[in-house]
Structures are given as C-alpha cells and as structure tokens.
Structure 1
Amino acid sequence: MESSLHLTRDGSTRSWPGKDTDGNAHLPCVQDTGDSRYRLGPAVTCDWTRFQRFARTGLAGHDEDGDPALRRALALVRGRPFTGIDPQRCAWAEPAIQEMVSAVVDVAYELATRRREVDDIRGAVWAARRGLLAAEESERLHRQIFLARHAAGDIGALREAAARLARINEQLLGGVDLEAETAELPRNLLPRPVTRAR
C-alpha cells in the first residue's frame, strides 16, 4: 500500500478497502479495546512481497524458471517506492525504501547481465530500464545499458545513454563525480574520432 490508513471514529476509512468474496473486511479489527488495532486481511496482497518472492526464485536459479521470475519481479516496478507521499509523513519508511530500491537494482542488474550473456540486447535494456524507474541515478544500471548498446553496435543509442546519465547526474546529484568505471566506459566503447595525417 502506498499510504497509511487513518481510522476515523465512525470507521469510514476502515471500510474503504472493502471486503473479500466471503464478506470479510480487508482491514478487520483484531483488538476491540480503547486502542483498537487493525490488520490487513489475508486476501490483501502487496507488490513488495510479490517482488521478493519472484526475486528469490529468479536469483536462485539460472534455469528456465529463473529469468522469467526476475522479469515478473521487475514488471511490478512502477517507480521509486513511496513516490508522491509526503516525506514528512513517511520518514519512518526510509530504511524500507532503501531496502526496496537496493533489491530492485540488484534484480535489474542480474537480469540485464544474464540477457546480455545470451545476446538478448532488448531484454538487457528492458531490465536495466525497469531498475532505473526505482533508482534513475544507479550507475550500475547505466553501465548495463552502455554495454548492451555497444554489443548491438548502436553507437547513437550509446551516446544518447551517456548523455542521459550526464543530465541525471547534473540534475539529481549536482554534478558530483561519476564512479571511475562509469566515466571511463563510454570513452572506451565509443569510437575514437579519426585524425587525418597532414
């Protein structure tokens, strides 16, 4: 869930999630005392737990089930966790956000690497871009895109990817130095200008 639920005296917010097919509330009261407590019902699912399940399956195996599981995990990523929520109200969530972002980057990096190894350039770029939805500043994922574009021989797309990272670095990070590996990679992959002998 993307935001916390605020319970009102008349229970109107508690009724907002609705009921399951058996008529049980999705947010049932589990302690009906002065400080009533509520818990999400068993039918309520969460993208994060689904992501974790798919990621575990995918990271554990390099078989026919591994890559599709990683792909299903990344298909759940729509952006940085808790985006659009007032940070003042969700300061408690920062450790969880960092855990989620790190997991998304790890899964995206792994799938992009696997796809490049079998010359699936489109799959590699897709995986890296899904990860960048959660962490657009991730140099590890930008490097994956550089390598995939180079493997495809698409120099224009490689230049564009390098320029995109430069813009992100300037806008988000104030132009801090890139990691040495990231800064050198485009220079090593892009063709050198031809100098004519005089």
Structure 2
Amino acid sequence: MVGKQMRNAVISRTPSWLGKNTDGQAYLPRVQDTTDSRYRLSTAVTCDWSQFQKLARAGLTRYDEDADLALRRALALVRGRPFTGIAPQRYAWAEPTIQEMVSAIVDTAHELSERCREAGDISGALWAARRGLLAAEESEVLHRQVFLAHHAAGDIDALREAAARLTRINEELMGGVDMETETAELLRNLLPRPVGRVC
C-alpha cells in the first residue's frame, strides 16, 4: 500500500517527468485544471505496447496481406527487451508484464516469420524472426525460424553462423544451458553431414 505522502510526492513530480506538448499543455494536467478534479493523462499520451497489441490482434485473426502488414507494423515497434535500461529494483512490479510482453512479441514474430517463409519471402521471414529476437534473444522457437529461412535460401554458411550464435547465447545463460531437443534435431536435419574420409 502506497502512503498518501509518497503518492503526493510522485504525483507532484510526474508532470515535469512527462513534459508538455507543442502547445504547452501538460501531458498530466494539474487536477485543478481538469473538469472532474481527477488525475488523467492527456489523450495525446500513447503507448507503443497498446499499439503493438492492437496491431498484433488485427494481424493474428486473419490471413491476408493487410493482416501480414499489421503484424509487420507491430514488430516494427519492437526496439529491444521491454523495460531494458531501467533500474530493475524500481520496476520489480513489472516483471509479470514484461514476461507477457515478451511472449506476445515472440508469438507475433514466429507467426509472421512462418507466413513469410511459406510464401517464399525469405528476407521477410528473417526480418520477423530477428525483430522478435530483439526482445528475447534466447527464444529458440525464433532461432528455429532463422535456421529454416537460411536453409530455404540455400545459405548454409548463414545457417552455421546462426547456429553458432545460438550456442554462444545458451552458453551465457545461467552458466550454460543445453539447446532444446527440437532445435538440435532441426539442425541435424538441416546441416549437411560431414563427408567421411576415404581410406
């Protein structure tokens, strides 16, 4: 429970944190400047997470060019892992929300990557998977999409490089984790087997 004194201190600082629009109107108007004496953010304040959710919903419920464009526009909003660069102790309350955001980004990236690959758009498939990896570099479901796209393009060198990148990421996670069985199996199927020496 937040005490009244703490609440008032935060509310008094928030307008300066948020600033003003080009007309000089505060993004969080003073309560005495509102019609109902309630704190309310200006309608000009938007959130890229809300935009992402709206675009992803529109794209995931249909299968057409407009739906794919909505998914692409959603993923274009992804710049990295949510809440990166903030003091973790200050935003510990946000951890469940962060996990929800990361899951939604991964699901959206996976869906668009798969759609693109199935349509023969390899560069689109790679772009979608890589946008998702910005938020969850450890997501093997997205790494598998990268592997499949490189294989579909016939770029074995890029496939090997992508597999090595995942290995490095896994080695850095919690002192090292094994590759998922499905990922290892996929790589065994996609990478050419070394040619044995003839005696």
Q: What TM-score does the superposition give when structure 1 sets the normalisation length?
A: 0.87
Contact 1:124 1:144 in 2 (8 A): yes
Q: Determine if the alignment matches structure 1 residue 90 to structure 2 residue 91.
A: yes
Q: Distance in 2 between matches of 1:14 and 1:68?
A: 36
- CA distance, structure 2, for counterparts of residue 74 and residue 65 of structure 1: 14
Q: Which residue is equivalent to 2:28?
A: 27
Q: Name the aligned partner's letter for residue 53 of structure 2.
A: Q
Query: What is the CA–CA distance in structure 1 between the aligned matches of 2:183 and 2:69, rounded to whole Å?
Result: 28
Which runs of 5 or more residues in structure 2 are unaligned?
A: 1-6
Kindly indicate whether residue 161 of structure 2 is the aligned counterpart of residue 168 of structure 1.
no
Q: CA distance change for structure 1 residues 42 and 10 in 2, over 3 Å: closer, same or farther? A: closer
**Superposition map of 1:1-198 within 5 A:** 11=12, 13-20=14-21, 23-30=24-31, 38-198=39-199
In angstroms, what is the RMSD of aligned CA positions?
A: 2.3
Asked if 1 retains the 8 angstrom alpha-carbon contact of 2:109 and 2:142, the reply is: yes
Deviation at 1:12, TM superposition (A): 5.6
Normalising by the residue count of structure 2, what TM-score does the alignment of the two structures yield? 0.87
Q: How far 1:13 moved relative to its partner?
A: 4.5
Measured in 2, the distance between the counterparts of 1:179 and 1:109 equals 17
- The equivalent of 2:3 in structure 1 is none
**Deviating more after overlay: 47-56 vs 20-29:** 20-29
SS in 2 for 1:65: helix
Whole-angstrom distance in 2 between the partners of 1:30 and 1:138: 44
Deviation at 1:17, TM superposition (A): 2.5
Cα distance between partner residues in 2 of 1:11 and 1:164:
47
Provide Cα deviations, 1:169-188, integer angstroms capped at 9, x if missing partner. 00124222221001121121
Residues 110-138 of structure 1, C-alpha deviations (whole Å, 9 max, x = no match): 00000000111100000000000000000
Give CA-to-partner distance per residue, 1:81-134, whole Å, 9 cap, x none.
Answer: 110111111000001000000000000000000000011110000000000000
The 1:23/1:160 distance shift into structure 2, 3 A limit, reads: same
State the AA in 1 paired with 2:26: A
Taking structure 1 as reference, are residues 102 and 148 closer, same or farther at Cα in structure 2, changes over 3 Å only? same
**After alignment, is 134-143 or 169-178 more displaced?**
169-178
Contact 1:7/1:13 (8 A) holds in 2: no
Q: C-alpha distance in 1, partners of 2:11/2:135?
A: 37
Q: 1:20, CA displacement in angstroms? A: 3.9
8 Å CA contact 1:74–1:104 kept in 2: the answer is: yes
Moved more, 174-183 or 126-135: 174-183
